[in-house]
Structure 1
Amino acid sequence: MVITYDWRGPVDNAALNALHAEGFGGPPGTLDWAGRLRRHSLGWVCAHEEGALVGFVNVAWDGGTHAFLLDTVVSRPCQGLGIGAELVAVAVRETRDAGCRWLHVDFEEELRPYYLDACGFRPTAAGLIAL
């Protein structure tokens, strides 16, 4: 298995909609990911195996020194192989190289070991309002 990782590479909307649906539940949507990413993101990382999209993470930002990790997802057959951690590692390097000082991430409690142990985030106090 050879996985390639691309920062700000081409985005296939159908493939990303299908991967997002697989990872987060529900039927594949029709979101224009390519347009959304160009408008709102510092960058994104796509993981491919033999041309097939198997992982994705988005790095949104405030236009300054803060960036935000969103939509981390790996296809079910590829989970547990370190692909997600490498997606985040590429995102961290590229975000740092872009001049950001902080990379934030929110996650559900069951993902705590992944983000804190596998990816190197540290816990912080934060607030959230469900809208």
Structure 2
Amino acid sequence: MNPTRMGDVTMFDSMLMDGLNDTFSGQHSGWHTEDLVKLKGLSREDQDGWALRSQQRFAAAQTAGKFAEEIVNVEGGAIAHGHPIGASGAVLATRLMHSMQRDGLSRGIVTLCIGGGQGIALALEML
């Protein structure tokens, strides 16, 4: 099978041409992060240290029961399910409905990030 049988094709690196581009500069958001850490003199070790400290603080708070009443991401997010492009919302909403039915819950919320720094939340109620 020839994928170009209908004419010329221009190939783009999808990670640099997706919804993560900054509208104002036209650059991928990852480049802004790299620019910022260079500007502020932040090393990879600094960043890793913050991430480790954040995880340790969360683990300590969880062990202390600070999140005992919270139910978060019980079915896993879009990345855990293969991040199906264009279908994450349908997949996560369907999984939430099945989870609510299985667990006897009447209400639930599913959230999604959207390219370009947007987000959306959907509240579901079983009738």
State the TM-score, normalizing by the size of structure 2.
0.29
Between Structure 1 and Structure 2, the one with more strand by share is 1
State the TM-score, normalizing by the size of structure 1.
0.29
Specify the structure having the higher radius of gyration (Cα).
2
